Amino acid sequence: MRIVVLAVPGGGKTTIMRYVQMRKPDVTIVNFGDYMFKAARELYGVKDRDEMRKKLLPEDYVKLQEIAAKEISNISGDILIDTHASIKMEGGYYPGLPDDVVKLMKPHYLILFEFNPDVVLSRRMKDMGGVRTGRDVETSEEIEQQQQVNRLFAAAAANAARAVLRIVNLRFSEKHPYEHAEVGAEEILKLLRMR
């Protein structure tokens, strides 16, 4: 089964997928951006992933998406594809899963996680001092706007791919650390058990 996992940057989808893999080790996690970056480095000399969205022309970005989607479509087994419904670029939002790209990946499900924007902002601030430098600083309102754009783009992608879209609300306050990751992982595991 192929499941595309979506959320705003810094929401916690990568952690959610790690929790899935702890409970179901045979699941393959594929990061769409890693495949794009590998091609961008080879074709355009891009030095990091943030440079891809800031410096490449839209037509170059499309080419990278298609290369990544074709490579990912050849992977067998249960796959979680870690990507974004929208990419914030100069001038607006670019679709993370244009019709032709999502069709190439042939997903069964798209699962979109939504978070309290203040929590996302807090997680991003932690990232600034640690793992992910180069991330843009945005307001809670801008994060919420991107979540609304994500809904629209995810629905369009699900329609194009003839896949089921599941939207999971993780806006609640966590009662303990990583509760969002546990709940999100369980939502993915439910889908994996459905076949």
Q: What is the pLDDT of residues 124-175, one digit of tens each?
A: 888 766 544 455 678 999 999 999 999 999 999 999 999 999 999 999 999 9
What span, in angstroms and rounded, lies between the C-alpha atoms of 136 and 154?
22
Question: Is residue 44 a part of any domain in this protein?
Answer: yes
pLDDT at res. 132: 47
pLDDT at res. 16: 98
Nearest to 87 by CA among 37, 34, 153, 134: 153
Question: Is residue 135 a part of any domain in this protein?
Answer: yes
Can you give the CATH number for the domain in which 140 is found? Answer: 3.40.50.300
pTM exceeds 0.85, yes or no: yes
Range of the domain at 49: 2-190
Nearest to 65 by CA among 103, 92, 114, 93: 103
Is the model more confident about 93 or about 51? 93
Question: Is residue 145 a part of any domain in this protein?
Answer: yes
H-helix or E-strand spanning residue 2: strand 2-6
pLDDT at res. 58: 83
Question: Is residue 129 a part of any domain in this protein?
Answer: yes
Q: What is the pLDDT of residues 22-77, one digit of tens each?
A: 999 999 999 999 999 999 999 999 999 888 878 888 899 899 999 999 999 999 99
Helices 117-128 and 140-161: crossing angle in degrees, nearest 10, is 100
**Do the bridges between strand 79-83 and strand 92-95 make them parallel or antiparallel, or are there none, so unpaired?**
unpaired
Total number of domains constituting the chain: 1
Q: What is the pLDDT of residues 105-123, one digit of tens each?
A: 999 999 999 999 999 999 8
Question: Is residue 54 a part of any domain in this protein?
Answer: yes
Question: Is residue 195 a part of any domain in this protein?
Answer: no
